[in-house]
Amino acid sequence: MKEPIISNCEKAFLLEAISESRRLDGRGMFDYRDLSIRFGKDYGCCEVSMGQTRVLGQVSCEIQQPKATRPNEGLLLINVGLSPMGAPHFETGRQSISSIQLNRLLEKCIKDSKCIDLESLCIVAEEKVWCIRLDLNILNHEGNLIDCASVAALAALSHFRRPDVELTSEGLIIYEAAVKEPIPLGIKHTPICVSFAIFNKGKNIVVDPSELEERVAEAEFTLGVNGYKELCGVHLSGSTQSGPTIVRQCANKALKRAVSVVALIKETLAKDSELRGSNTERGFVECVRQGTITSHGTPKICLPIKHKLPVETMEASHEDESSCDEVEVIGSGTVELKNSSVLATDTAEQVMEVEAKPKVEEISLSDDENEVQILSD
């Protein structure tokens, strides 16, 4: 399926809004969307969401023969899979331009910057090394896939633990997690990507672009920066008239952003290891928000309304985590949704609220009197 066309009026409106320093979803020009990182039950499984963009990362390992040119280094493979689940115009299998660009950028940022200590993955030189495979799946594409994928990649790699091995005279023993504690990967530094969309011949820069902004932008500038404020990669797609001022501006913002993102990853990792230690319930099930109807709701455009409206749009109600909807089953075939939150005035919930009708007597219909006509489907 082809990517749907953007109408001229949408393009013109977006450019005019950007030139007035307004964004369609009400963010400031340099405001990022909410970043949340969730780890799954297995080591190396991580889901990252930036606003509506969601990426799932999974790390796995295998013992293989090393490359002939590097006999005492492990292998690291990064694969980004674009499936129609992310967006209707993505195709599995076929390498589209955006998928190649994404793969290459992540390779540049993570592999070429040598952030993973590959020599520690060697077991027997020239014969057996660990091959670490990172698979990223795009769950939803709402702009800025590069940033989201890089955070997912880094978080998954930092979370991953490989089995402990021992080389004895009989051969190689790979210990199970229950027998010997698995070992984390050696991560020397933490690179992530930060993207900027450039409009109006370099006059306006926007941080964390949404899907429409990405498609309308004349250029997208991506910087790979690590937690120590070192540059790990640079990429510009598209073309724009920009000078050194733009590059400097973007670099400053990227440095600040990288530091805060890396701090968030470390914090989330610490919380996760705490949860694992205390043996409480963890994993993705806990991350699914209870009590909110998640489909059909989120408006793409919303302004930060300074004065609190009694209206709760779907996005606002996501923050209201205390409101828990209990689902009570009354009889067969009838469901009542009770909302204990005072503020939620969602008509969606009102519509689903159904009063249990007492099933009294059977009304018998005589078939010859009824005619059934099908109107439309």
Partner 1 sequence: MNGSSEGDVVVPGDVVRLTGVKGKVVLGPGLARTGEGVHATKCGVLRKGGNNIFYVDSRQKKYVPAKGECVLGVVTNARGDMFKVDIGSSDEASVSYLAFENATKKNRPLVNVGDVLFGRLLVASKDMEPELVCVDSHGKKGRLGVLPDGGFLFTCSLNLVRKLLRPECPLLEALGKQLAFELVVGLNGRVWLRTGSVRETLLVADAVLAYQHLQPHQVQHAVDQLIYQLSSS
Write out the residues near partner 1 by the rule CB under 8 A: 4-13, 16-17, 20, 22, 24, 26, 295-297, 299-303, 305-307, 309-314, 332-335, 345-348, 350-352, 354-355, 357, 359, 362-363, 365, 367, 369-377
Measured from the CB atom, is 8 or 168 closer to partner 1?
Answer: 8
Q: How many CB atoms lie within 10 A of CB 184?
A: 16
CA–CA gap between residue 231 and residue 251 (Å, rounded): 9
Measured from the CB atom, is 94 or 296 closer to partner 1?
Answer: 296
- For residue 10, the minimal CB distance to partner 1 (Å) is 5
Q: Is the separation of the CB atoms in 140 and 66 below 8 Å?
A: no
- For residue 361, the minimal CB distance to partner 1 (Å) is 11
- For residue 346, the minimal CB distance to partner 1 (Å) is 5
CA–CA gap between residue 370 and residue 377 (Å, rounded): 20
- The three-state secondary structure class of 164 is coil
Measured from the CB atom, is 277 or 299 closer to partner 1?
Answer: 299
Measured from the CB atom, is 10 or 320 closer to partner 1?
Answer: 10
State how far Cα 335 lies from the chain centre: 33
- For residue 352, the minimal CB distance to partner 1 (Å) is 7
Measured from the CB atom, is 94 or 357 closer to partner 1?
Answer: 357
Q: Is the separation of the CB atoms in 24 and 16 below 8 Å?
A: no
Measured from the CB atom, is 13 or 284 closer to partner 1?
Answer: 13
Structure tokens at 68: 């002939």
- For residue 12, the minimal CB distance to partner 1 (Å) is 7
- For residue 202, the minimal CB distance to partner 1 (Å) is 21
CA angle 311, 312, 317 (to 5 degrees): 170
CA–CA gap between residue 355 and residue 353 (Å, rounded): 7
**CB contact burial 22-48 (16+ within 10 A = b; e otherwise):** ebbbebeeeebbebebbbbeebbbbbb
